[in-house]
Amino acid sequence: MGHRKVVLIIPEEMVLEEYASPTEDPAGPDTGGRCVHKIGIYGWRKSCLYLLVLFLLATLVVNFALTIWIFRVIRFNTEGMGLLKVTSQGVRLQGVSEFLFPIYTQEIHSSEDYPLYVHSSQNVTLGACNGKGDVTGSLTVAPQMVKAYGQFLEFKSEKGESILSADDTQMKVGAEKLRVTGPSGALSEGSVETPLIRAENGEDLRLESPTRTLSMDAPKGVHIRAVAGSTEAISNMDIVLFAREGMLVLDAETVRLPKLPLGTGGKREPTQGLYEVCVCPDGRLYASAAGTGSTCHENSQDC
C-alpha cells in the first residue's frame, strides 16, 4: 500500500479567535490575516507570581535577621562563641558553664591560680573506657556517698610518693603514720600487718576482740612495752604463756601472785608469815608454809 497525504484545512477565523487577547479590542489593528502569538503571563497568574516573589523575599529577610540575632546572642566571633574560645591547645571556657549531656575529653584543668569546681544537683561521675567502650574505672560523687570503681586505686603526695594504694588482694598505707581518731577505734574483720602499734600521747592502747580470739604473731618476736605505765592482760578464762623452744623469764624486782591457793595436807604454820611456791606435776602452782626445809611434799594433796 502506498502512503497517503492528509491535509487539514483550518479556517483563518478560528486561528485568529484562539490567539486573540481577552482584553484586546475586537476592532483592533488589522493583522493583515496573519497569526499573532503573544508570550507571557497575564491576569491573575501574574498577580500570584508577584505575591510568591514577595513572600520569598520577606522570608529571606527574616532568616537573615534571625541569623544576625543568633550570632549576637551567642556572641559568635572568629575565636569562638562568647566565653568559649578555640585555641591551638584545645577549647578554653571562661566562667560558669552547664552541660546537659555527657562530655568526652582527654584533659580538664582550670586557669592558673584558680580552682576547678564541678557541681551537679544529682551525681558527678568521671569514667574511663577502653577501646571497646567498656568502663574500666569510674568515680562517682553522690549526695550521700563517694564511690570509686577500678582495678587499682592509688593516692600520691606532691612528691609523687604513694600514700594509699589498694587492689583486689591488699590495701597498702604508704604514709608515715596511720591515725585513727574515732571513739570506737579501728575495726578489722581480717588480719592487720604492721611493724608498730602505738597510742597517742596521754591515751591508752587497747587491743580487744569482743567475741573471738586475739592473736599476735611475729617470726622474730612480739614486744609489749609500757614506758611510763603498766601493762595488763585480763581474761575471763585462761591466760597461756607458751614457749615452744626456750624458757619463760619473769624479770622484775617483785613478782606477786595474790590469789595463789594454799596447799593442804600439812599442819605446819607459816614461819613469820613466809610461804614457798610449789609446782604440781601438771604445772599448777600453790603456796606452802615455809619451814627450815621444803614443805611442798607435805601440802601437795591438791595435786
Q: What is the pTM of this model?
A: 0.38
Above 50 in pLDDT, residue 161?
Answer: yes
**Regarding predicted confidence, which is higher, 151 or 4?**
151
Q: What is the pLDDT of residue 123?
A: 85
More confident residue, 60 or 238: 60
pLDDT tens across 192-213, in order? 777 778 777 777 778 777 777 7
Q: What pLDDT, on the 0 to 100 scale, is given for residue 20?
A: 46
Which of the pair, 17 or 167, is modelled with greater confidence?
167
User: What pLDDT band is residue 39 in, cutting at 50, 70 and 90?
Assistant: low
Quote the CA–CA distance of 278 and 300 in Å, as a whole number.
Answer: 8
pLDDT digits (tens, 9 = 90+) for 101-136: 877 877 787 777 778 788 787 888 888 888 787 888
Is the pLDDT at 22 greater than 60, yes or no?
Answer: no
The helix (H) or strand (E) run that includes residue 12 is: helix 12-18
Instruction: State the pLDDT at residue 58.
Output: 96
DSSP secondary structure of 157-198: -TTS-EEEEE-SS-EEE-SS-----STT----SS----S---
- Cell matching residue 84: 568559649
User: pLDDT tens digit string along 44-84?
Assistant: 888 898 899 999 999 999 999 999 998 888 777 777 777 77
When pLDDT is cut at 50, 70 and 90, the band that residue 293 belongs to is confident
Residue found under cell 614443805: 295
User: Following CA atoms 47, 51, 53, 56 in sequence, which dihedral angle do they give, to the nearest 10 degrees?
Assistant: -170
What's the confidence (pLDDT) of residue 271?
Answer: 60
Q: How far is CA 245 from CA 19, 76, 233, in A?
A: 135, 86, 23
Q: Mean pLDDT, to the nearest integer, of 169-173?
A: 82
Share of the chain above pLDDT 70, in %: 83
pLDDT above 50: residue 15: no
Q: What are the sequence ranges of the domains in the chain?
A: 8-26+33-94, 118-154+163-176, 242-303
Residue 234, CB half-sphere, CA atoms under 13 Å: how many?
Answer: 7
Mean predicted lDDT score pLDDT of the chain: 77
Residue 53 is predicted with a pLDDT of 94
- Cβ distance 164 to 171 under 8 Å? yes
Q: How far apart are CA 231 and CA 207, in angstroms?
A: 12
